[in-house]
Homo-oligomer: A and B are copies of this chain.
Amino acid sequence: MEKIPPRTVARLIIYRKILNSLIYEGVSHIFSRKLAEMAGCTPEQVRRDLMAIGYQGSTVSGYDVSELEYSIGYVMDDPEGVKIAIVGGGLLGRAILDYCYWRYPNFSTFLSFSNEKDISDKVYHGCKCYTMKQIEEVLEMETVDIVILAIESEHVQNLANRLVKSGVIGILNYTPIHLDLPSEVFVEDMDLMLAIDKAAFFVKHETHIKKKKKKKK
């Protein structure tokens, strides 16, 4: 298959999430117009994105929800599963581990690195737990696709450098530190502060618009 552009990938993931919600609600078919409305894009974009993965709907009944969800998964998912390591055994690290455990029961392997003495050296939700010091040693033996950074530490950049040196090329960064890493490493900023700042700005702006509108009346 041809290379899928990053923005198409991002939209496919959103379509899939919507489709999963629809399956849950018992909806069997959906038209591109409705899917586009729910995903915040245009029907043409939906049709183009789905053509890119070789999927076409029926003009009479629209897309088959389960079939389409399967098709997107077929393109997106690695049959070998995703191997995830979580760094951080605090509230957030444990919340993420809980979340992953219920969402990816047969899909992935998990490792956890932590300095919390009550977690290290145990198996939690089938996830092997190690101390931070063991990172290099463990990554030498196990292939990890994505590392989730959920720590409260000043040495995040240093830690990220160690991970990249050990071959990690995918990082989800929940820390407030901006990571300076080689461009071939995929880093997604999951920092709550970024999201709050963005939401706050738009909410403020929306309020501002409303106030203006009210004044105009």
Q: Using a CB–CB distance below 8 Å, which chain A residues touch chain B?
A: 3, 6, 9-10, 13-14, 16-18, 20-21, 24, 38, 40, 76-78, 82, 84, 90-92, 94-96, 98-100, 103-104, 145-146, 148, 154, 169-172, 176-178, 180, 183-184, 186, 188-207
Kindly list chain B residues whose C-beta atoms are within 8 Å of the C-beta of A198. 9-10, 13, 188
Kindly list chain B residues whose C-beta atoms are within 8 Å of the C-beta of A148. 192
User: Is B95 a contact of A200 with CB atoms below 8 Å?
Assistant: no
Count copies of this chain in the complex: 2
User: Is A169 a contact of B206 with CB atoms below 8 Å?
Assistant: yes
Bound: A76/B193 CA distance, A? 13
Known: A16-B197, A18-B178, A103-B193; 5 extra A-B contacts, CB below 8 A, are A78-B200, A82-B200, A91-B91, A104-B196, A186-B202
User: Is B17 a contact of A76 with CB atoms below 8 Å?
Assistant: no
Known interface pairs A178-B18, A180-B38. Does A172 touch B195 (Cβ–Cβ under 8 Å)? Answer: yes
User: Is B14 a contact of A203 with CB atoms below 8 Å?
Assistant: no
User: Is B196 a contact of A184 with CB atoms below 8 Å?
Assistant: no
User: Is B176 a contact of A17 with CB atoms below 8 Å?
Assistant: yes
Bound: A184/B184 CA distance, A? 36
Known interface pairs A21-B178, A145-B203. Does A197 touch B76 (Cβ–Cβ under 8 Å)? Answer: yes
Bound: A183/B171 CA distance, A? 31
User: Is A84 a contact of B196 with CB atoms below 8 Å?
Assistant: yes
User: Is B194 a contact of A17 with CB atoms below 8 Å?
Assistant: yes
